[in-house]
Amino acid sequence: LRSFLDNLAGTVEGVSLFEPFESLCPSGNPHCSTHRGSEALFSDGNHLTNAGAIELYPRLQQFLGRLDPSARR
């Protein structure tokens, strides 16, 4: 699935792929945690808690700011 999405984002005009993993598990960390301090980042296997969403927000905002406004519909 990942290679399909990467290919889609690389070949179809107007398609961009946001990768949240780096925000939640930054490179250079020897271990990836489901918590940041005492705050849980996930409410289950697929959903962020409010703390997880807040952790992700700055990177998502930066990603959205880089998108070409003419590609938005």
pTM of the predicted model as reported, rounded to 2 decimal places? 0.72
Per-residue pLDDT of the chain (73 residues; tens, 9 = 90+): 889 998 998 999 888 889 888 888 877 877 888 999 999 999 998 899 999 999 999 999 999 998 877 765 5
DSSP 40: E
Task: Give the separation between CA 61 and CA 58, rounded to whole angstroms.
Answer: 5
Question: What pLDDT does 19 receive?
Answer: 86
12's tokens: 């179809």
- Give the integer Cα–Cα distance in Å for 26 and 33: 10
The closest alpha carbon to 34, from 48, 20, 22, belongs to: 48
pLDDT number for residue 49: 96
pLDDT of residue 14: 85
What are the two backbone dihedrals, phi and then psi, of residue 42, each rounded to the nearest 5 degrees? -125, 140
Tokens coding 3: 């290679």
